[in-house]
Amino acid sequence: MDTSSGGQGLYPLHRCKTLHFVRHAQGFHNVAGEKDHQAYSSYDYLDASLTPLGWEQVDNLRNHVQATGLSNKIDLVIISPLTRTLQTAVGVFGGGDYSDGIDVLPLMVADAGNSGRPAISSFNCSPFLAVELCRELLGVHPCDKRKTKREYQSSFPAIDFSLIESDEDIMWREEKRETDEEVAERGMKFMKWLWSRREKEIAIVTHSGFLFHTLSAFGNDCHQIVKNEICTHFKNCELRSMILVDKSMASHDTPATNFTGKVPDGPDLPSDAVDEKLS
């Protein structure tokens, strides 16, 4: 009898996480760099913020995640601590316009990053956590240099910046750009840290280069079409949902939805086994 599964695979649910990867929306550095690659070396685009078109992309993705119900499933939003990713994350996954009558901190104050946008509420939102491991390739390009932690805390009060140890950006170097291999290694460290989190459905708002070099390590055991879906370059404000699987048996999570059966206790041999016992 042919028991082939046709390339399908099953994994226990408690050994999986659902990840929603998002590249930030269009930033001013993207526009300038497309016209002239040397613009990426200009301090005019230090920690670049979103363009008006970028905010339009954010609004479109927000409408999508709400229409699909995705916004209600997210347990945690992880963000690279740069203005364009912070703006994208709160615009897509945050609450509505902030109201002074609601006793919660705003995710973003009005006009943060010279956006011209109203404040964004954190009411009824999942936690937002800034993590430096998922930053863009580091060094040389000022657009990838972050501001101080204090500045971000002032502009994005409801985001948790506690994992960022230094107020100043000590990761970025003016004279040296991080190699592809180095960012891939950092990406795998991030993925291992991500797996250690208790949350099961996580959104990650990050950068094209980081996503490409991190996700390229995955999908090598899949069809090329699937591999392409995983690791081709992301467009601005593109979202891709994926399942992270623990193949190493390293997970210690208990299966929350499994039920062992046999309650109350009693005979439960399958009929074939009973027949064999009687023969």
What pLDDT sits at residue 14?
85
Q: What confidence tier does 252 reach under pLDDT thresholds 50, 70, 90?
A: low
Q: Is the pLDDT of residue 260 over 60?
A: yes
pLDDT score, position 98: 66
pLDDT at 277: 57
Q: Name the CATH architecture for the domain at 13-278.
A: 3-Layer(aba) Sandwich (3.40)
Chain mean pLDDT for the chain = 90
Positions annotated as catalytic residues are: 24, 136
* The token pair that represents 124 in the structure block: 């009824």
Query: What distance in Å separates the CA atoms of residue 228 and residue 225, rounded to the nearest whole number?
Result: 5
What per-residue confidence (pLDDT) applies to 222?
85
Give the domain ranges of the chain: 13-278
Q: How far apart are CA 245 and CA 103, in angstroms?
A: 39
Pick from 179, 63, 174, 85: nearest CA to 132: 85
- Average pLDDT rounded to a whole number, residues 178-207: 96
Give all strands of the β-sheet with 16-23 in edge-to-edge order. 128-130, 76-79, 201-206, 16-23, 239-245
Q: What is the pLDDT of residues 121-150, one digit of tens each?
A: 998 899 999 999 999 999 999 999 999 999
